[in-house]
Amino acid sequence: MTETTETTTVQDEVLTEVRGQVLIITLNRPKAKNAATENMAKKMAEILDDFESSDELFVAVITGAGNTFCSGMDLKGFVRGERPSVEGRGFLSLTEQPPKKPIIAAVEGYALAGGFETMLACDLVVAADTAKFGIPEVKRGLAAAAGGLVTLPQRTHRAVAMEMALTGDIYSAEFGKTNGFVNRIVGDGQALDAAIELAQTIAANGPLAVKASKQVIVESADWSTEEKFAKQSAIVDPVFTSADAKEGATAFAEKRAPRWTGK
């Protein structure tokens, strides 16, 4: 039986739940469409640090309560001088320094502004067919500085990123899938379950291999043709000599599920 643990209180703006090796993070301000606050950013920093250091958790899923992912920054807090970010880590402590382990966004409803940029900081995106995306900061006299201007062009075509940033318009899940920033589209209300299923598929694999694979894909964008295989070797060679690599081969030969140790 899969172990499930949950920590929630009425006033918590960020909730966590563990299902096996998967951490589920829920942004929990549904009445405000999960608009991000300074307090949420600080809590996210703690949660993500614990996730990264855990030997038991392999993949995280981030979602929002109340059929909305995140509508962006809490503008009332912004007027008071608050920012929903942590220095060096970005919006919700995620956009500038994502975890080294995989993280999946499960999107229902709106992922706008900082919410969209939070989604972009995730490695994979599962979206309901009714989900809506956009970086409408220009409509408020602001700029999409949490990743909309620098990360989105890496996840889609330059022309698409330019249109989204300059118009501030809202776009559909199908638009996101067509233009490369949504991986899977599911029915309304099914995004979290589908994201957890995807996370569990990833978590069943060797954690060292998964982590190294993500690292190479993320970092190789800046590698030259001449250096890419040498730099890749520095990251993946330890995987091939790990106890997990031996266990994976042994489990295959013995026709059983591998027992990973992360070593």
pLDDT tens for the 263 residues of the chain, in order: 344 445 444 359 999 999 999 999 999 999 999 999 999 999 999 999 999 999 999 999 999 999 999 999 998 887 888 889 999 999 999 999 999 999 999 999 999 999 999 999 999 999 999 999 999 999 999 999 999 999 999 999 999 999 999 999 999 999 999 999 999 999 999 999 999 999 999 999 999 999 999 999 999 999 999 999 999 999 999 999 999 999 999 999 999 999 998 89
Tell me the CA distances in angstroms from 31 to 67, 68, 235, 243, one per residue in order: 11, 10, 44, 48
Q: Which amino acid is at 100?
A: K
Residue 63, helix vs strand vs coil: strand
Please name the residues in contact with 47: beta carbons below 8 A apart, sequence gap of 6 or more: 14, 16, 23, 25
Q: Please tell me the distance from the alpha carbon of residue 173 to that of residue 188, in angstroms, as a whole number.
A: 11
Residue 98's nearest CA partner among 114, 116, 119, 113 is 119
Domain with CATH 1.10.12 in the chain: 207-253
Q: Nearest to residue 107, comparing CAs of 20, 19, 201, 175? A: 175
Residue range(s) occupied by CATH 3.90.226.10 in the chain:
4-203
Q: Is 137 a catalytic residue?
A: yes
Q: Which of these, 139, 137, 135, lies nearest to 155 by C-alpha position?
A: 135
Sign of the dihedral through C-alpha 143, 46, 31, 133: positive
Q: Tell me the CA distances in angstroms from 233 to 56, 207, 243, one per residue in order.
A: 26, 18, 18
- Alpha carbons 30 and 48: distance in angstroms, whole number: 21
Q: Rg for the chain (alpha carbons), in Å? A: 19
Tokens of 199: 């996370």
Contact (Cβ atoms closer than 8 angstroms) between residue 34 and residue 75:
no
Q: In this structure, which topology does domain 4-203 adopt according to CATH?
A: 2-enoyl-CoA Hydratase; Chain A, domain 1 (3.90.226)
Residue 177 CA to residue 229 CA, distance in Å, equals 30
**DSSP secondary-structure letter at 73?**
B
Active-site residue, from 13, 52, 117, 227: 117
CATH topology of domain 207-253: Lyase 2-enoyl-coa Hydratase; Chain  A, domain 2 (1.10.12)
Q: Is 117 an annotated catalytic residue?
A: yes
pLDDT value for 79: 81
Tell me which of 38, 96, 137, 163 is the catalytic residue: 137
